[in-house]
Amino acid sequence: MLLEHMMSEQMSNSSEGFFAEMRRCAKCILPETFPGIRFDEKGVCNYCLSYEPVKVRGEAELVKVLDERVREVGQVLGKYRIGLLKKISKGKTSVV
C-alpha cells in the first residue's frame, strides 16, 4: 500500500512538471502540443496572429444580402419559375 502511494505521488509530480514546463501561447494559452501550432518571437501562436473577428452587421444587412442572392439566382434561372424560401430570424419564413 505504501509503495503504491509513493509511486502514485511520483507519477503525479512528474506530470505536474511536464505541464508546468509546457510552452503556451501568450494570448490564448493553447499548448505547444496543439496540432499545427507555431509561436512568434513574442510567444503568440499562429492561430491568434491570423484571427479576424466576425463583423456583426445586424438583421437588416442580413435581409439585404439574402435579397441580393435571391435576385442573382433568379437571373441565373431566367425563364424558370421557382419558389425560394428565405428563412429570416425569429422563425419567420416567406415565399418569394
Q: Please indicate, yes or no, whether residues 27 and 9 belong to a single structural domain of this protein.
A: yes
Q: Which one, of 94, 46, 41, lies nearest residue 66 by Cα?
A: 94
Q: What average pLDDT does range 79-88 have in this prediction?
A: 49
The tally of domains found in the chain comes to 2
Distances in Å between the Cα of 86 and the Cα atoms of 1, 3, 9, 48, 70 are 68, 68, 61, 35, 9
Q: Please indicate, yes or no, whether residues 44 and 66 belong to a single structural domain of this protein.
A: no
Residues forming a β-bridge with 93: 87
54 lies in some domain = no
User: Residue 94: helix, strand or coil by DSSP?
Assistant: strand
66 lies in some domain = yes
Q: Would you place residue 92 in the very low, low, confident or very high pLDDT band (cuts 50, 70, 90)?
A: low
pLDDT value of position 8: 53
CA 39 to chain centre: 19
Range of the domain at 42: 2-49
Q: Please indicate, yes or no, whether residues 64 and 30 belong to a single structural domain of this protein.
A: no
- Quick check: 12 pLDDT over 90? no
Q: What is the pLDDT of residues 16-72, one digit of tens each?
A: 666 778 999 999 999 999 999 999 999 999 999 999 998 888 888 888 988 898 888
88 lies in some domain = yes
